[in-house]
A and B are shown apart, each in its own frame.
Chain A
Amino acid sequence: MNKLVCIACPAGCEMILEIKNGKVISVKNNKCPKGSTYAAEEIESPKRVITTCVKTDLSVKWLPVKTSSPVPKEKLFDFLAEISKIKISKPVKAGDKIAEKLLGFEGIDLIAGRTIEI
């Protein structure tokens, strides 16, 4: 029997998992289906969304960004290092893709968090 706090949303359900051979067989105490998806992923290959800032030459010095999908947890700092190399010099809109396939990972893009017009 394993306990796991769900991080899929602020509710933070304290789930109870049954794990066999590194696989989740059952999840209890979760209020929504996101819990069981998260639990399986967390045990088998944990992932995290990265939020950070990248430098710009614009009127707002730092652009908040996030990854479009979670990145493998053990590679968090490799992704952070990669993101820190990016610099923005053209105006952006919230939701713009400012980098694609970070570290070559399909589906992991970098998304602008706000609009900077000048």
Chain B
Amino acid sequence: MKEREIVIIGAGPAGLAAALGAKDKGAKDILIIERDQYLGGILNQCIHNGFGLHRFKEELTGPEYAQRYADMVKSAGIEISDRTFAVKITNKKEIFCLKPGEMMKLKAKAIILATGCRERTREMIPIHGFRPSGVYPAGLAQKMINIEGWIPGEEAVIIGSGDIGLIMARRMIFEGMKVKAVIEIMPKSRGLRRNIRQCLEDFSIPLYLSHKVTKIHGKERVEKVSVCKVDESFKEIKDTSFDIKCDTVLVSVGLIPENELLEAAGGLIDKKTNSPVCLKPYQTSIEGIFSCGNCNKVYDLVDWVSRDSYEAGGLAAMYANGELK
């Protein structure tokens, strides 16, 4: 078991900012564990702009924002273990990680969880019907297009009008796909108004508010979806059902903090939000295990993730050297 001062799990925007925060508060020995080969996490696939207006006073794309933090962390000399996957942490602040060819066993004075979030799926809504290919979480479609250059289909319907769904509508149009509709069960979109304007209205994509998809059709590949209007309690209004032909369905119905590591270690999790229960700022119910970024709560803007995670990193450093009471 190798002893470390601070171990940060995740090198997305939260983990990178936390590392800088810890360094600035005097931490000498910081290790960031990252699953991927690259730093920046999900920002790397968010190639659209709109990041950094608060933090850097200019409008950046996701990769640009990630690159700035990656450069800062590298020039601060902070150690990173990439392609490393944390499989288990304990309430004694032990960390077990797998990487190709090696299992790392660490014991930290403080752990910072910066594991981000995952997407809610069709199964969680649930959206009934068949289970053909062509139904993707919006983030997966984003990764396919922006990281792999794979175009998932020809004609898409997007379920949910959160920002990821809206951004993907424009992205698919740019790649030559058709976007037939965005279906939102709420009477109002959860997305930014600017995204409705520049991602939907610019391309005349209809947004159906107070509507839901009742069935996905197609046995092999998606063929169409059935859509209907809903009342205030989200129940189907009779005789409002219609079908939209499509071969692709993107599901963009919200994000859930990823806290399975903490939960397995015995940390308390709020059942409703899947966020850790924090009695002190950014500190989970297990003393010395901190949490920041989207695994702490789902944020709208990465700028605030950076700001708060920097603070969390500082607190973890103070905890590790005994300054935090």
Contacts and interface: CB of A to CB of B under 8 A. Distances in A.
A and B directly contacting (CB within 8 A): yes
Interface of A: 5-12, 14, 48-53, 55, 60-62, 64, 66, 73, 80, 94-95, 113-115
A19 to B, nearest CB: 17
Say what secondary structure dominates the interface of chain B: helix
B194 A12 contact: yes
B194 A114 contact: no
A53 B149 contact: yes
Contact of A61 (B38, B148, B194): B148
Contacts of B148: 61-62
Contacts of A11: 194
A113 B194 contact: no
Nearest to A77: B174
CB-based closest 6 A-B pairs: A12-B193, A64-B47, A12-B194, A113-B63, A7-B194, A114-B63
Given A48-B202, A114-B44, A66 B49 contact: yes
A13 to B, nearest CB: 8
Contacts of A80: 174
A5 B202 CA distance: 12
Contacts of A60: 38
B53 A10 contact: yes
Given A64-B61, A80-B174, A53 B146 contact: yes
B47 A51 contact: yes
B103 interface: no
Contacts of B197: 5, 7, 12
B87 interface: no
A104 to B, nearest CB: 21
A95 B56 CA distance: 15
A95 B60 CA distance: 11
A10 B167 CA distance: 13
Interface in B31-81: 38, 44, 47-50, 53, 59, 61-64, 66-68, 71
Contacts of A95: 64
A80 B71 CA distance: 29
Nearest to A52: B174
A18 to B, nearest CB: 19
B196 interface: yes
A64 B194 contact: no
5 contacts: A10-B53, A61-B147, A113-B62, A114-B67, A115-B67
B301 interface: yes
B43 to A, nearest CB: 10
Given A10-B194, A10-B300, A113-B62, 5 more contacts: A7-B197, A10-B53, A51-B61, A94-B67, A114-B64
